[in-house]
Amino acid sequence: MTKVIYNPALANIEETNATNATFDIAPLHAGYGNTLGNSLRRVLLSSIEGAAIVAFRIEGASHEFTTIPGVKEDVIDIMLNIKNIRLKAFSDEPVEVRLEKKGAGPVTAADIKTTADVEVINPGQIICNIDDPKKSILIDFVVESGRGYQSIEDSSTKRIHSDMIAVDAIFSPVLRVRYKVESTRVGQETNLDKLLLSIETDGSITPRQAFEEAAAILVNQYTALAGSTVVDATPALGQALSSEKNELNTPVEELNLTARTANALINNDIRTVHDLVTLSEQDLRELKGFGSKALDEVNEKLAELEL
């Protein structure tokens, strides 16, 4: 058993649609499936940058505990609907946008007059319904970018217009994260983990972008704590330094090794180049019937293959 802690590999990404994907991370050191899965899940749900409405103003409504003539919903209901509007912001500063609608019918997020700094992700989101065909409604919004959750008290303190109604904001573009840990093996290594991480976003960011941002955040956090200590990065177990899959799948019988060396590898269930490159030199030395001459022969052959 090797003492090396190998780096993980992103073995596969299964994309169901633009907002759902499952990431197959394997192989992992024993026990690292839960370690990475829990860390990534917490960061994905709490720390990915997104945008949200933090304040709004409806013409004719001075506070949230009121109604608007000709509009079916009261201001509280409208506020709850506003919190469901998903946005993408392209500015680090607060952005103001406006909605104007006249005539009976539903008022949706598609009626918001966006700018180059704001994009509406779910234009079908209902904001309210106008009952009176002669009635019009005007709503101003303030959109901000941020991470995690901002309470209504913080939104109220930071609002740029005192006559606006502040709302609590969920900036996270990640809606759901689930993970599952399974057992896997590579060559002689049988006590390994495979992490299946499923991510669902609101469409303002792709699952892959969210995944990579979460991983980068964790890298920065741990790097800040590591000090001057450096651990050599080891290629992921089972990942050849060459990208040629045909070479990895080559049977050991086709490597032109001596019969003694080839038989020793096969008897230890090492049947392909892929199986061979997953083992360290110490692992090879510990194989039954595998001596120093066989080790030298294998090293020479792998050098020829640039592996």
Instruction: Round to whole Å and give the CA distance between 73 and 210.
Output: 35
What is the pLDDT at residue 46? Answer: 95
CB-count exposure of residue 226 (10 Å: 0-12, 13-18, 19+): exposed
128: nearest Cα among 140, 139, 115: 139
Question: 49 is written with which tokens?
Answer: 């940058």
The answer to whether residue 249 scores a pLDDT higher than 80 is: no
Lowest mean pLDDT among 151-160, 203-212, 292-301: 292-301
pLDDT, greater one: 273 or 194: 194
What is the pLDDT at residue 246? Answer: 55
Is there a contact between 149 and 170 (Cβ–Cβ < 8 Å)?
Answer: yes
Instruction: Round to whole Å and give the CA distance between 155 and 280.
Output: 56
What three-state secondary structure class fits 103?
A: coil
pTM for the model stands at: 0.73
Instruction: Round to whole Å and give the CA distance between 211 and 45.
Output: 11
Measured CA to CA in angstroms, residue 167 lies from 54, 98, 115, 151 at distances of 5, 17, 21, 8
Residues 137-190: pLDDT tens digits? 999 999 999 999 999 999 888 888 888 999 999 999 999 999 999 998 877 778
Instruction: Round to whole Å and give the CA distance between 22 and 211.
Output: 10
pLDDT winner (highest mean) among 4-8, 62-66, 83-87 = 83-87
What is the pLDDT at residue 244? Answer: 45
Q: Mean pLDDT across the stretch 221-244?
A: 71
Question: 148 is written with which tokens?
Answer: 């995690």
Q: What distance lies between CA 241 and its chain's CA centroid? A: 26
- The percentage of residues in the chain with a pLDDT greater than 70, rounded to a whole number, is 93
pLDDT winner (highest mean) among 8-22, 177-191, 196-210 = 196-210
- Which domains are assigned to the chain? 10-48+174-226 (3.30.1360.10), 50-170 (2.170.120.12), 245-304 (1.10.150.20)
Instruction: Round to whole Å and give the CA distance between 69 and 122.
Output: 27
Lowest mean pLDDT among 46-55, 92-101, 252-261: 252-261
DSSP state of 106: E
Is there a contact between 298 and 261 (Cβ–Cβ < 8 Å)?
Answer: yes
Is there a contact between 32 and 236 (Cβ–Cβ < 8 Å)?
Answer: no
